[in-house]
Amino acid sequence: MTQRTAAGFTPPLTGTAGGPLDAAGTAEQLGRFTCDDPVRMRPVDPGPGRLLLVRHGETEWSRVGRHTGLTDLPLTNEGRARAGGLPELLAPHDIVHVRCSPLQRAAETLQLAGREPDTYDADLAEWDYGAEEGRTTAEARESGRPGWTVFDGVPPGDTPGETVEMVAARASRVLGRVWEHLGRGDVLLVGHGHHLRVLAAVYLRQTPYLADSLEFEAGSLCVLGHHRDTPTIQRWNLTP
């Protein structure tokens, strides 16, 4: 892989001269971004803030449907162009806290959105796809698993892989770290398609498998809030 990052952007993870980090290389570095912020219980009375979810812009792999978990790919030029419209979408919101995945496709999307992270959080990294890293769903199904999706589980590969329950546990920790901020205003989370879909399901107090029925386009914004004390989807897949 020889794709390049944009001028003026420095990825949080340390790559190599030969190109972006592979999944195993990223896994070795994620520990640098383990967050020790307190993980709090969901408050009984929701605060005024809304949860703003932004999926990173397009990469070469996301464009063709290859599972991109921990491989640290940069954005494509199209991905950068679309992310450049995010400031307009975010402008109406009273953002009091910003949290981002340390993978460069998320970090650069945040930069193009005109925001700085309060923290990079390893628990916002994408699903570890194990042996399915870099493969399309069609390729996985051709290996004797008709109808397969990642929600059915992934075998270990260069990295161990994760179950949906493991991803949901990470998403729950992220939410536990931002409840107090939502008591003051809106919180922006910038991350990845599968992980943020699972996080949305957890926020909504639903099974994490609900995420399999949610679509989240690259470079788009989703807004979660409350109706009285019931968590709700207020906007989904807003694009510049």
Active site residue 126: yes
Given 126, 132, 133, 162, the catalytic residue: 126
Given 56, 67, 194, 195, the catalytic residue: 56
| Average pLDDT of the segment spanning 81-99 | 97
- CA 166 from chain centre, in angstroms, equals 15
Has residue 129 been placed in a domain? yes
The pLDDT of residue 23 is above 90: yes
Q: Which of 64, 63, 66 is nearest to 77 (CA)?
A: 63
The pLDDT of residue 2 is above 50: no
Q: What is the pLDDT of residue 6?
A: 60
Has residue 149 been placed in a domain? yes
Has residue 30 been placed in a domain? no
Has residue 86 been placed in a domain? yes
Average pLDDT score, the chain = 94
- The response to whether 68 counts as a known ligand-binding position is yes
Q: What is the pLDDT of residue 47?
A: 87
Residue 10: CB atoms within 10 Å: 10
Half-sphere CA count of 44, side-chain side, radius 13 A: 0
Active site residue 132: no
Q: How far apart are CA 124 and CA 107, in angstroms?
A: 11
> Are 5 and 111 a contacting pair, CB within 8 Å?
no
- The response to whether 177 counts as a known ligand-binding position is no
Residue 144: partners with Cβ closer than 8 Å, 6 or more residues away: none
Has residue 16 been placed in a domain? no
Q: What is the pLDDT of residue 185?
A: 97
Has residue 109 been placed in a domain? yes
Q: Encode burial over 201-234: b for 16+ CB neighbours within 10 A, e otherwise.
A: bbbeeeebeebbebebbbbbbbbbbbeeeebeee
Quote the number of domains for the chain.
1
Has residue 101 been placed in a domain? yes
Residue 16: CB atoms within 10 Å: 9
Has residue 165 been placed in a domain? yes
Report strand pairing: 221-227 vs 95-100. Answer: unpaired
- Could you read off the pLDDT of 119-178 as tens digits, one per residue? 999 999 999 999 999 999 999 999 888 999 999 999 999 999 999 999 999 999 999 999
Does the global pTM surpass 0.85?
yes
Q: What is the pLDDT of residue 3?
A: 47
Report the CATH number that the domain containing residue 160 is assigned in CATH: 3.40.50.1240
Give the range of the structural domain holding residue 134, as residue numbers without chain letter: 48-238
- The response to whether 69 counts as a known ligand-binding position is yes
- Higher pLDDT, residue 14 or 185: 185
Q: Which of 239, 37, 28, 237 is nearest to 118 (CA)?
A: 37
